[in-house]
Amino acid sequence: MTDKKNCVINLHLSKKYLNRCFNWIFLESLRESASWTKNILVLSIYPLILLICGFFMVIEISKFRIGGNFTFFAYLMVYFGSLYQSLWKYFVFLWHDEKIKQIRKFIEDIQISTETTDLLSNIRRREYQEALKFYVLFVRACTAMMTYSVIALFSLNAYATNFTSGLMYTIPLLPETSAFYRPVNLIFQFISLVIIAVVFVASDFIFAILVGCLDGELRSIVAYILTMKDESNAKKQGKEILKTVYKNHLRLLLVLNDLRSIFWYLSLQMLLTSFLYICFTFFLARVVSISITTFILCFNSSSLLFIYSYLSQILLNRTEGVAHALWQTSWYNLAPDDQRNFLIILCMAQTPIGLSASGVTTISISTMVQVLKAAVTYGTLLFTLVN
């Protein structure tokens, strides 16, 4: 009973956080039963603000000259990269709206299935309880860290610019002598920073929660397969177990492929931008004294790279674990027709599946190490060239 209660709580929290993240990004609460025109207007709020903010950033970047304040310029480039990535994520999620609906339906079906009393449902309750504990805690911790980072970055930037800017630029055509100069700059840039952080981080929360649900389902499938280690179970229930495994594993692979296609280009972009962020912040740490702002930016960039690499590694390990579990069963006690079905499932499960960076590489922990090494190397090279 405790397992069932904890599983229901964790699944409910995961679904709640998932819905909350989509509401943060797409303002779904404002689009309930709304007209098509109102939906378009609501969906245009974030992109419009970010595009205006990006336009002001480009103007500020174009003003930079050799010998100017390179520290402010480097910070501005980092914020501009974050803005660009947030816009990209926003439109990618919009483009894949149908796939996202299918993934959300998959989670709803899993939640419904845990209410039944068959063997697979009992296993799901146990495995989801263990799997989702980490992901629920992760989302809570990252939400607190995001809030702190936004407030700290904006406050430090405002202080460094004598309370005229929070993102290292000023709104053009607004005279410095105007009474509205500082309030308008600070308020607009704070709103822009919050939107950047919400879209940027909420999309990563969505990815983490979805990986958590896939992790729980893969664990459940592996545990269900291992019930065939018992020779009597393999003989009596092997056919039914294989049929259930095939159906659930196939659906999971379809959901996983949808997730991979959503993050197909985002993953490559994440690797490149993380490399640039870390390279820039490492260079700043060498050129000037290490400030709190530099530390926060470097920590956030490294954390983003670690999160994607670690979660993709989990998917690789879990999908590979299905094939390992199949080999540990008493498959030799299956009927000839069932052995044929066993081989079909084994062929489907033999290739580990994780995030792909646009087909260039499969993201894993080793990818994170390679990006960090390259970023530190090029950051040092840039420092040597400048000095």
Q: Tens of pLDDT along 57-105?
A: 999 989 887 666 777 887 888 888 889 889 999 999 999 999 998 999 9
Q: Tens of pLDDT along 352-377?
A: 999 998 888 899 999 989 988 888 78
Q: In the prediction, which pLDDT does 316 show?
A: 94
The secondary structure of 215-239 as a DSSP string is HHHHHHHHHHHGGGGSHHHHHHHHH
How far apart CA 188 and CA 121 sit, in angstroms, is 50
Q: In the prediction, which pLDDT does 289 show?
A: 56
How far apart CA 320 and CA 38 sit, in angstroms, is 46
Q: pLDDT > 70: what percent of the chain?
A: 93
Measure Cα distances from 59 to 29, 169, 177, 184, 213 in Å.
35, 9, 20, 17, 44
Checking if the pLDDT of 5 tops 80, the result is no
Q: Tens of pLDDT along 345-358?
A: 999 888 899 999 88
How far apart CA 262 and CA 260 sit, in angstroms, is 5
Q: Which two tokens stand for residue 44?
A: 């245009």
Backbone dihedral angles phi then psi of residue 356, each to the nearest 5 degrees: -115, 130
Q: Tens of pLDDT along 158-171?
A: 988 889 998 989 99
Residue 172: enclosing H or E segment and its boundaries? none
Q: In the prediction, which pLDDT does 66 show?
A: 62
What confidence tier does 9 reach under pLDDT thresholds 50, 70, 90? low
How far apart CA 379 and CA 285 sit, in angstroms, is 10
Residues 6+ apart with CB under 8 A from 313: 354, 363, 364, 365
What confidence tier does 121 reach under pLDDT thresholds 50, 70, 90? confident
Highest-scoring range by mean pLDDT, 15-29, 40-54, 222-236, 334-348: 40-54
Q: In the prediction, which pLDDT does 2 show?
A: 56
How far apart CA 227 and CA 124 sit, in angstroms, is 14
Q: Tens of pLDDT along 261-295?
A: 999 988 888 888 888 877 777 776 666 656 677 77
Answer positive or negative: Cα dihedral of 320, 323, 327, 328.
positive
Which pTM was predicted? 0.89
